[in-house]
Structure 1
Amino acid sequence: MLMEVKKAFKLMGYYFRFNISSVMEYRVSFLIQSFGMVINNAAFIFFWWILFNNVNSIGGYGFKDVMLLWALSSSAYGLCFVIFGNVGQITRMILNGELDTYLLQPKDPLINILCSKTIVSAWGDTLYGIVLFFLVKGFDIKGFLLFLLFCVTASIMFASVLVTIHALSFYAGNVEGLAQLTTEFLISFSIYPEGIFKGGLKYILYSLIPAGFMVYIPSRVINEFNPVLFLEVMGAALIWIGIAYSMFYKGLKKYESGNLIINKL
Structure 2
Amino acid sequence: MLMEVKKSIKLIMFYFRFNLSSVMEYRVSFLVQTFGMILNNSAFIFFWWILFDNVRSIGGYGFKDVMMLWSIMSTGFGISFVAFGNLSNITRMILNGELDTYLLQPKDPLSNIICSKTVVSAWGDTMYGLILFIVLNGVHIKSLFLFITFSITAALIFASVIVTCHSISFYAGNVDSLVGLITEFMISFSIYPEGIFSGVIKYVLYTAIPTVFMVYMPVEIISKFSMGKTIAVILVTVLWIIIAYITFYRGLKKYESGNLIINKL
Q: How far 1:235 moved relative to its partner?
A: 0.4
Separation in 2, partners of 1:194, 1:99: 39
Equivalent pair of 1:96/1:260 in contact (CA under 8 Å): no
Contact 1:84 1:114 in 2 (8 A): yes
Q: How does 1:132-147 map to 2 (within 5 A)?
A: 132-147=132-147
State how 1:1-265 maps to structure 2 within 5 Å: 1-258=1-258
How big is each residue's C-alpha offset from its partner over 1:135-179, in whole Å with a ceiling of 9 and x where there is no partner? 111122201100000000000000000000000000000000000
State the TM-score, normalized to the length of structure 2: 0.97
For residue 186 of structure 1, give the secondary structure of its aligned residue in structure 2. Answer: helix
Q: For 1:259 and 1:53, locate their aligned partners in 2 and report how far apart those are by CA, in whole Å.
A: 60
Per-residue deviation, 1:25: 0.4
| Whole-Å separation in 2 of the counterparts to 1:135 and 1:210 | 27
TM-score (norm 1): 0.97
1:96 touches 1:259 (CA, 8 Å); kept in 2? Answer: no
Cα deviation, 1:15-40, whole Å, max 9, x if unaligned, reads 00000000000000000000000000
Q: The residue matched to 2:160 in structure 1 has which SS?
A: helix
Q: Aligned-pair distance for 1:260?
A: 5.8
**Which secondary structure does the structure 2 equivalent of 1:205 belong to?**
helix
Whether the 8 Å contact between 2:15 and 2:115 is mirrored in structure 1 is yes
Q: Distance between the aligned counterparts of 2:81 and 2:200, measured in 1? A: 30
Question: Retained in 1: the 8 A contact 2:77–2:122?
Answer: yes
Contact 2:69 2:216 in 1 (8 A): yes
Aligned-pair distance for 1:259? 6.2
In 2, distance between residues paired with 1:6 and 1:173?
A: 33
Query: Structure 1 segments of 4 or more deviating over 6 A?
Result: none
For residues 44 and 107 of structure 1, the distance between their equivalents in structure 2, rounded to whole angstroms, comes to: 41
Query: Matched residues in 1 for 2:108 and 2:252: separation?
Result: 13
How far apart, CA to CA, are the structure 2 residues paired with 1:23 and 1:117? 10
Give distance in 2, aligned partners of 1:166 and 1:201. Answer: 23
How far is the alpha carbon of 1:120 from its aligned partner?
A: 0.1
Output the CA distance in 2 between the equivalents of 1:111 and 1:216: 28
* Deviation readout 1:68-117 (Å, 9 max, x if unpaired): 00000000000000000001100000000000000000000000001000
CA distance in 2, matches of 1:199, 1:136: 32
- Deviation, 1:44, is 0.2
Question: Identity percentage over the alignment?
Answer: 66
Give ranges in structure 1 of 5+ residues lacking alignment: none
Aligned-residue CA RMSD (Å):
0.9
SS of structure 1 residue aligned to 2:33: helix
Amino acid at match of 2:151: C
User: C-alpha separation between the residues in 1 aligned to 2:86 and 2:120?
Assistant: 12
**Structure 1 residue 8 displacement after superposition:** 0.6
Q: Distance in 1 between matches of 2:140 and 2:66?
A: 18
Structure 2: distance between partners of 1:167 and 1:159: 12
Mapped contact 1:80–1:158 kept (Cα < 8 A): yes
